[in-house]
Chain A
Amino acid sequence: MLEVRNLEKWFGPIHAVRSVSFQCAKGEVLGFLGPNGAGKSTTMRMITGFLPPSDGTALLGGYDIREAPVEAKRRLGYLPENAPAYEDMTVEEFLLFIAEMRGFRGRRARERAGETMKRCFLDKVRHQPIETLSKGYKQRVCFAQAVLHDPPILIMDEPTDGLDPNQKRTVRQMIRDMAAEKAIVLSTHILEEVEAVCTRAIIIHEGRIVADGTPEALKARHPSGRLDEVFRILTVGDEAQ
């Protein structure tokens, strides 16, 4: 479903992503782990076609994001870091705009936006301008925008960032509910989240993949059997030593 091939990214002298390759099949929920600045967001931005890679590419449903970006993007739902949305619009207007951009017309667009608001528990705030929403609600609006067209590939950059414990649970449940039909990649700093929703995890450090496996396989790498220990050993950089 999603195939990432040798992605490289240079920001001037900074080598942010170094030959990252992996695949994600339908039914998989792939957790993207790594310390701050490891290159998770940059990798996702290249997969989604926002940033051009310095080298390598990604195939979404067989479409190359560099060669056929529009076709590739049709198959994609993307929740960027910090959950941006057009703040001057109401929740309903915003989701209607997204529905139309995703090819729904007229009544079907309104139905689609309505269903999505229900599914993401946004009914209560549908007429509220997004700028007046709390952080958790904003996060959910952006989540709603990503899943509105029921994409086969879902990329989410810290989808539970800023949510309270209840909302975190809700979002995780929603991800699990969708998982069977989609290839999902999500980044997170919460290791329990990996155990709760991910079928597989990739640990990335200084732009390189340093581990790739099921949460169980990763845990087995340390005698304590704890993911945070494994994470620490794999990603403690020079600065921390």
Chain B
Amino acid sequence: MGLWTAAGIILRRELKSYFQSPIAYVFLVGFLLLVGFLTFMVGGFFEMGQADLRFFFFWHPWVYLLLVPAASMRLWAEERKSGTIELLLTLPVTLPQTIVAKFLAAWLFLILALVLTGPIVLTVLYLGNPDVGVIVAGYIGSALLAGAYLSVGLFASALTRNQVISFVVALLICLFLLLAGWPPVVSMFTRWAPDWLVRTVAAFGVMPYFESATRGVLDIRDMAYFVSVMIVMLLATHWTVENRKGS
């Protein structure tokens, strides 16, 4: 049996386990309500008099801040707490496959949540005449952003057997990534921090890359940023599981 076949089986189990608990549904509904509320009420969608989705995508990095750690906190912490990690890692499969399987299962779950926002987009299409290309780029950007946060969450989940700690650590790291490149924060720091430091920290931020995607320009640099975050965090997850699985 190929190792990736085994990874596929783990992926399926993980995905199923999301839907076996009511939390998944609470979560999907919560996500949709939150995104809908922020888009239409807080975002001033109707006052804008302009049917585009900037105010829809604007909130994604903030909503994901809560949603993604909640979706990822269980992934390793629960395995360690219940001891099933000992079963999983003594089955004939390697750790990289296992990590990728867990990551993809959770990512698919988040992408499903994203897809369910379709009606919001249809409303906009109905009300106005937005650029479909921009919408597609925005969605791809949003999915990549979710993946980047998720890789952080997976890493945080490997650090501890306590899901609450895993949630908080993931939230804090994601918050750092979010604020690091956010223009209001950057401009605040330029007042007192040396220029090179501001620029170095800002280079880690997700916001510039995500914003360019929501404007419809998703170039290779933006993609490369998100993919690098994922790769780095998955490698960190691998290292962490290797070193902490027994403790």
Contact = CB atoms under 8 A, between A and B. Distances in A.
- Are the chains A and B members of one assembly? yes
Interface of A: 45, 48-52, 69-71, 73-74, 76, 78, 80-82, 84-89, 97-98, 100-103, 142, 145
Contact of B83 (A49, A82, A88): A82
B1 A103 contact: yes
Contacts of A52: 242
A84 B87 contact: yes
A69 B92 CA distance: 8
Given A45-B246, A102-B92, A103-B1, A88 B20 contact: yes
A101 B6 contact: yes
17 contacts: A49-B89, A50-B89, A50-B90, A50-B246, A70-B94, A80-B83, A82-B83, A85-B87, A86-B13, A86-B17, A88-B20, A88-B21, A97-B9, A98-B91, A101-B91, A102-B92, A103-B92
Contacts of A49: 89-90
Contacts of B86: 45, 50, 78, 80, 84
Contacts of A73: 90-92
B123 interface: no
Contacts of B82: 84, 86-87
B227 to A, nearest CB: 27
Given A86-B82, A88-B17, A103-B92, 7 more contacts: A50-B246, A78-B86, A80-B90, A84-B87, A86-B84, A97-B9, A102-B92
A76 B90 contact: yes
B210 to A, nearest CB: 34
Contacts of A76: 90
Contacts of B92: 70-71, 73-74, 101-103
Contacts of B90: 48-50, 73, 76, 78, 80
A49 B90 CA distance: 6
Contacts of B93: 70, 101
Contact of A145 (B13, B87, B94): B87
Interface in B73-117: 82-84, 86-87, 89-94
B94 A85 contact: no
Interface string B1-36: 101001001100100010011000000000000000
- B13, B17, B92 — which one has the most chain A CB atoms within 10 A of its CB? B92
Contacts of B84: 84-86
B238 interface: no
Contact of A50 (B3, B17, B94, B245): B245
Contacts of A45: 86, 246
Contact of B3 (A48, A70, A84, A85): A70
Contacts of B20: 88-89
A84 B82 CA distance: 6
Contacts of B94: 69-70
Given A69-B94, A87-B82, A97 B87 contact: no
A87 to B, nearest CB: 6
B17 to A, nearest CB: 6
B13 A97 contact: yes
Nearest to A65: B90
A70 B93 CA distance: 6
Nearest to B86: A80
Interface string B153-197: 000000000000000000000000000000000000000000000
B27 to A, nearest CB: 16
B106 to A, nearest CB: 16
A80 B87 contact: yes
6 shortest A-B CB distances, which residue pairs?
A84-B83, A103-B1, A80-B86, A73-B92, A74-B92, A48-B90
Contacts of A87: 82
Nearest to A48: B90
Contacts of A88: 17, 20-21
Contacts of B245: 50-51
B17 A51 contact: no
- B9, B21, B87 — which one has the most chain A CB atoms within 10 A of its CB? B87
Given A78-B90, A88-B17, A51 B1 contact: no
Contacts of A89: 13, 17, 20
Contacts of A82: 83
